[in-house]
Structure 1
Amino acid sequence: MNTLRTIHDVPVFLCAAEGEPIGSERDALDVIGEASYQGARWAVVPAERLDETFFRLSTRVAGDIVQKFANYRLGLVVLGDISRHTADSSALRDFVRECNRGRQTWFVADAEELDERLKG
């Protein structure tokens, strides 16, 4: 079940780990709509909810989804271990590193890392 939590005074929408894969702009808009309706500033999507195409940058799925979140001024957090994807793609490793430098899209391993990022 999707829930809204406040972490360090920041409203965060937590997507359920189970559910349909998120693999298109339409899927992203569903998450954005629900998160925005609940007043969230960040949406946390478990890595396992993302369609495999998200992690293949040549498909442009990741870029399209990240851009959709940016357009709606909602932060996106991909939560979980994506090492099997980054091990196979230097482009994806670079993408993750660049995202994590910013304030729009983060890739974090676990809830503790998310907590640390939201403190700052």
Structure 2
Amino acid sequence: MSAHEGRFEMQITTITANNVKIARIRSTEILITDVQSVLDLIGTVGYETLCERILLDKAAIAEEFFNLRSGLAGAVSQKFINYRVKVAIVGDFSIYESKSLQDFIRESNEGKDLFFLPDEQQAADRLSKV
């Protein structure tokens, strides 16, 4: 187990959509703040659920992620891809005015690895089909 786990109030459950098992993460704290935190999350989810698909709330991700200049979104995305983990982030992304971020979200949603969706049902459905 990672050294970071003690500070997280995180609950991992599994849901099934179209016969595909998905790890549903709920947290009262920000879980993704840097590359190491992503690796910790991937490891914890894999160990506890054996899932390769993760659904989490936007609130579990540091706001810095949504500022593309920080580089966090690219680094986080790359780790998920490298470890073959599909992720859907649920929340309201219309609040961001950055055209580059909106382009990133649109391009991600057209791909097969990282999705930004408005609700849990759409997220589970998308994850079950990739």
Q: Which TM-score applies when normalising by structure 1?
A: 0.90
Q: Is structure 2 residue 98 aligned with structure 1 residue 84?
A: no
CA root-mean-square deviation: 1.4
User: Could you tell me whether the CA contact under 8 Å between 1:78 and 1:106 is conserved in 2?
Assistant: yes
Q: Could you say which residue in structure 1 is the equivalent of 2:74?
A: 63
Residues 32-83 of structure 1: per-residue CA shift (max 9 Å, x gap): 0122222112111210111010000000001100100111000011111122
- Find the partner of 1:109 among 87, 108, 118: 118
Give distance in 2, aligned partners of 1:82 and 1:23. Answer: 18
Q: Which stretch shifts more, 10-19 or 43-52?
A: 10-19
Q: Quick check: 30-39 or 13-22, which moved more? A: 13-22
Structure 1 segments unaligned to the other structure (5+ residues): none
Deviation digits for residues 62-115 of structure 1, max 9, x if unmatched? 110010011100001111112212xx2000000000000111011111012124
Give the counterpart of 2:39 among 29, 35, 41.
29
Indicate the residue corresponding to 2:15 in structure 1.
Answer: 5
1:119 shift after superposition: 5.2
Runs of 4+ in structure 1 deviating by more than 6 angstroms, as ranges, are none
CA distance in 2, matches of 1:30, 1:66: 14
Range with bigger deviation, 94-103 or 40-49: 40-49
Contact conserved, 1:99 with 1:105, CA < 8 A, in 2? Answer: yes
User: Counterpart of 2:53 in structure 1: which amino acid?
Assistant: W
Report the AA paired with residue 91 of structure 1: S
Paired residue for 1:45? Answer: 56
Residue 17 of structure 1 aligns with an amino acid whose one-letter code is: S
